[in-house]
Every structure is written in structure tokens, then in C-alpha cells.
Copies of this chain bind each other. A is one copy, B any other.
Amino acid sequence: MTETDGKSPRERYRAQVCAEIKQHAWEQLATTGVSALSLNAIAKRLGMSGPALYRYYASRDELLTELIRDAYRSLADLVRAAFESGADAAGLAHAIRDWALADPHRYFLLYGTPVPGYHAPEDTATISTEIMAVLIDAHVALSLDRPATSFDAHLENHRDWADGHPAPAATLHRALSFWARVHGTLSLELAGHFAGMGFDPALLFAAELDDLLKS
């Protein structure tokens, strides 16, 4: 209970303020989107003046990087947890869609328009390959009786991104298609491009995956 956690009170206080800043940043992000994320507004909502925030995050970009990292981690954990609890590829897709619908701005933070000056840090790429690895795992169980395509052959020679995964190229192909179709339908839906069209985006989502997974 009253474990000191091995940290000095200053460090604990600092960690908590950092967490509070991030929490308010997420709230602001969820309501107004990334472009309207304001350090000043966060500081005022925390009861302190603007520049005080720079003790905790050196710049707006550094806070954004932290948010992106957290979002990636959240998605990777979700995908991994879903897979480890026995979900198949379709189950993963559903989990990802729910995750995105729960906070569209968080999804766009990762997969939306890249911000001009920003460059993702090294570890987000690591998490990204981690996600891809799980996606590949989720596709190894699927049948491979479809005829091999020329892209399969190309992937055979360009499978470094699979990080040594032993799955056949056709499976890597399926994982990539999975990712592309999930992203395609999901981002069009989240951006509102299906808004006035009347049909149910969830059914298009499911149909795109069905077409990929059954065969």
C-alpha cells in the first residue's frame, strides 16, 4: 500500500504531472483533434501557466510523439490480446474497428495525414512490425489453396519486414491485404465519406474481409 516504489517524492510528483498532462491532451485530442491541441489550454486547465508545461515536455512535438507512442502501444496491445485470447483474423479486424470507432482522432493520429515537420521516432516502427507479426500469425491458419500471384513471388524476395517470420509469402500477402482493407474501409468511414450514402459501413467492412479470408 504505502510502498515508496523506490522513487523520490519529486520524481513521483513529476511522473504524476506528466500523466495528468497526457490525460488532458487525450481529452482535448478526442474532442477537437490533433491540430487544435494546445499546450496553453492544457496548462490552464491544469491550473498553471503556459510555459510551466515545458518543464515536462520540451515541445509540442515531444508531447505528440508521446501520444503517438501510447496510441501505437494501445493498438499493439489490443491486437496481441485479441490474438492470444483465440481470435481469428476476422476477430482481430472487429477489435481494431471497435478500437478506432472508440476514438477516431486517436486512429487518425496514427494512420491519418502525416504531419509535415514530424518524424516518427525509432520505436514506433518497432511497434508497427510487432503488430504486423501478430497479423501474420493470425493468417497462418488460413488455407492456401488460392493460386499464387506475382505479388507473392515479389514478397518472397522482399520479406525483411516480416522479421524472420517463417510463414509463406502468400500468408504475408494476406496480412498486407488485411491491413490495407481494414485501413481503407475504416478510414473512409471515420472521415465521413460514407456519411450520406445510406448503407451500413460495418457491412462493407465485413464484406471486404470476407472476400479476403474465405477461399
Contacts and interface: CB of A to CB of B under 8 A. Distances in A.
Interface in A102-147: 108, 111-117, 125, 128
Copies of the polypeptide in the assembly? 2
A58 interface: no
Given A185-B180, A188-B180, A210-B149, A199 B33 contact: no
Interface SS, A side? helix
Nearest to A162: B197
A204 B188 contact: no
Interface string A195-215: 011111001101110111000
A65 interface: no
A158 B200 contact: yes
Contacts of A207: 149-151, 173, 177
B184 A180 contact: yes
B161 A197 contact: yes
A34 interface: yes
A193 interface: yes
A15 interface: no
Contacts of A211: 149, 177, 211-212
A198 B129 CA distance: 13
Contact of A196 (B108, B161, B184): B161
Nearest to A113: B112
B33 A113 contact: yes
